[in-house]
Every structure is written in structure tokens, then in C-alpha cells.
Amino acid sequence: MIELKRTANRIRQDVVRMIGEAGSGHPGGSLSAADIVTALYFNEMRHDPARPDWPDRDRFILSKGHAVPVLYSAFMEAGYLSRDLLPTLRKLGSPLQGHPDRRTVPALEASTGSLGNGLSIGLGYALAARLDNRDYRVYVMMGDGENQEGQVWEAAMWAGYQKIDNIVAIVDYNKQQLDNWVAKILDLEPLQAKWAAFNWHTIVIDGHDMSQILAALRQARETKGKPTCIIANTVKGKGVSFMENNVEFHGIAPTPEQVKQAISELEREAANLG
């Protein structure tokens, strides 16, 4: 558990450095997703960096593609990418685009960023596993604002009706989108009841509590006959005091001075982990 927390902390540091170096990007939603992405890649998912196209690998789709720095860092930690690529984020000629591009990074399962599409893509993978008699699982992380998209609910309706139980939708519920709070733009509540109404097994957790994350993923794995939706309550900008719950950092890069402050805070947190 402590090692997972250390990994999430390193990923957050990478996110801050990458976006700071690029001078553009989406730090808030990348930081809020770090604990869940860490739990998936370093505890839950079956995958092999030596074989990114292994047919029996579990699949992860980052539907909220603007948060891809968190995934690039996880790929580096797992061995899919070299560290020297991280500072090239969003730079001309770099494979690390501002949204996932599977043509340039083989470990990516889908090119995403057009919000609302990821769950449909994930269901395609999940159904393919059923048709091919394979036992891999599919995980799709969506933004909370993304749940305002109609295509999400079309996919949710279909998955519940078809009882696709090898897919897990994860909502990064950090309560912010664009430049305001989700509840002030288009309120999602009652979110859990909505997913349950579409015949999904729903679990609500603290998306920064590693024990809750692992327990939810285990429960999802054990749930048969229906898909699972994990609604993860998170804090946008988690780990950096001046970014937490600050709508300004949805899509604004930190300045060099802010990068230093953020890294200092994260290093102190890492030291406290022991």
C-alpha cells in the first residue's frame, strides 16, 4: 500500500514537471486521477510492458484524454516509455501529444479526448473479449463533466442491457469542469442512482484512499452479470495546495515558480510516507 502511494506521488511530480515544461496542459484533472491510475497499473491490471499488444492484457481507456500526462507518467513507471520522453510533452514532433494518440504510443488503447466516446470504445473491447472467449477486463476512466454527454448514457444503457460484466467505468468525480463547478454548469446528481438505473453495479469511494480504490476494483472483478461503475470522489489538483479545488488549474500550466512550490509540497508528502 505504501509503495502504491509513493508511486502516485512520483506520478504527480511528473505531471507538474511535464505540464510546466510544456507551458500548457491540464494539471487539475491529471492530479485527481493519479491514485486510481496507480492502483490500476501497479496492482489490478494484467499487462506486460514487453508486449504492449499482448492479446490477453487488460485494457485501460482514458476517455478524459486531456488528463493524459498522468498516463504517460504511469507508462514510464511501468516500463512502456523512457523518462527522457516526459519533458517533450506537447512539443512538436513528440509522441507525447496533449491528448492520447495511439499511433505514436503503442501502449495506448485508444485515441481519446473527444469527450463521451471512451465508454463506447471500451464496450467494443469488452464485447470482443466475450466473442473471442478471452478473459481480459476493460477499465474506462471518464471525467465527471463528461457524464453530461448523451453518448455516455447510450453506452451505459447498452452495457447494462447486455450484462457486460468485464467492463468497469470509473468516474473521476472531482466536481469541476472547464472554468466552474459541475453543479453550476449542469448538475449530475443523483449520479449513483442514474448509473444504477441503467443496471450497473455502482460503488462510491474516496478516490484518494488507496484501500478503498483497491477494494472497489476487487468488488468490480467479483461482480457477475452486470457492468460496474466506480464513482470516485476526488479533489481536482490533489496534492498541490494552490491547485486543489481551484478551477483556474483545469487547463492552465503552472509557472516555473509554481512548479518549484508544487514539487516541494509533493516531496514533503513523499517524505512523510516513510
> Which pLDDT tens digit goes with each residue over 168-183?
999 999 999 999 999 9
pLDDT surpassing 90 at residue 135:
yes
Q: What is the pLDDT of residues 196-206, one digit of tens each?
A: 999 999 999 99
The predicted structure's pLDDT at residue 62: 98
pLDDT surpassing 80 at residue 29:
yes
Q: Would you say the pTM of this structure is higher than 0.85?
A: yes
Question: How much is the average pLDDT of 21-47?
Answer: 98
DSSP one-letter string for 187-243: ---SHHHHHHHTT-EEEEEETT-HHHHHHHHHHHHH--SS-EEEEEE--TTTT-TTT
The rounded percent of the chain whose pLDDT value lies above 90 is 99
Q: Judging by beta carbons within 10 Å of its beta carbon (0-12, 13-18, 19+), is residue 95 exposed, middle or buried?
A: middle
Strands 228-233 and 201-206: parallel
**Domain of 44: which CATH number?**
3.40.50.970
**How many separate domains does the chain show?**
1
DSSP one-letter string for 37-63: HHHIIIII----TT-TT-TT--EEEES
pLDDT surpassing 90 at residue 274:
no
Question: How much is the average pLDDT of 251-264?
Answer: 98
Question: How much is the average pLDDT of 48-60?
Answer: 97
Domain containing 201: what range? 2-272
What is the rounded CA–CA span in Å between residue 229 and residue 156? 10
Average pLDDT, the chain: 98
When pLDDT is cut at 50, 70 and 90, the band that residue 24 belongs to is: very high
The predicted structure's pLDDT at residue 90: 98
